[in-house]
Amino acid sequence: MDKSTCTPCGGEVAVATNAKNRVVFRPRIEILSQPEGELLRVELPGITRERLDVQVEGDQLVVRGSVANEPEGRSYLLREYGSGDFERRFKIGEDLDTANISAELAEGVLALRLPKKSEAKPRKIEIRSC
């Protein structure tokens, strides 16, 4: 595995079950590799910033939150949006700079930027004439 990769811990399914065989909400994610680092996007329709918690714990990035349940009495024909408490963990690669991770929530998507450490970024070497 590339040491600069951010990888999910505990599987990659969007819906899981707990020990009591109840459905547990697991937001969908995508991780993009970019020259300057990694971009992790977490799909969280209806969540607010106040209901999110993002932390670095050791070599893991932890995203926790709570998506509010819809009011009772609604009659859905189809419902694919999840709700409830969730936690997603991602192993942070050695070449990523945990001190400079940034997060932005917009239009139901949490975007986390994990930049590469300075020494890990590609750089052009200037060739001089003697």
pLDDT digits (tens, 9 = 90+) for 80-126: 777 788 999 999 999 999 999 999 999 999 999 999 998 766 778 88
Please report whether residue 54 resides in a domain. yes
Please report whether residue 2 resides in a domain. no
CATH of the domain at 50: 2.60.40.790
pLDDT band at 23 (very low <50, low <70, confident <90, very high): low
pLDDT at 22 over 70: no
Please report whether residue 55 resides in a domain. yes
The total number of structural domains that make up the chain: 1
87 CB contacts (<8 Å, ≥6 apart)? Answer: 62, 63, 64
Encode pLDDT of 30-87 as tens digits: 999 999 999 999 999 889 999 999 999 999 999 999 987 777 788 878 877 777 889 9
Average pLDDT, the chain: 82
Q: How far apart are CA 113 and CA 130, in angstroms?
A: 41
Q: Are 43 and 106 in contact (CB under 8 A)?
A: no
Nearest to 105 by CA among 34, 12, 40: 40
Strand partners, 48: none
Q: Which residue segment(s) compose the domain that 78 sits in?
A: 7-118
Please report whether residue 29 resides in a domain. yes
Q: Are 64 and 86 in contact (CB under 8 A)?
A: yes
Please report whether residue 128 resides in a domain. no
Q: How far apart are CA 86 and CA 10, in angstroms?
A: 13
| Helices and strands (H, E) in the chain, number of each type | 0, 10
Encoded tokens for 12:
């990659």
Question: With b meaning 16 or more CB within 10 Å and e meaning fewer, what string describes 96-126?
Answer: bbeeebeeebeeeebebebbbbeeeeeeeee
Q: Which residue has the higher pLDDT, 70 or 22?
A: 70
Question: With b meaning 16 or more CB within 10 Å and e meaning fewer, what string describes 14-37?
Answer: eeeeeeeeeeebbbebebeeeeeb
Query: Looking at residue 69, what is its pLDDT?
Result: 74
pTM: 0.75
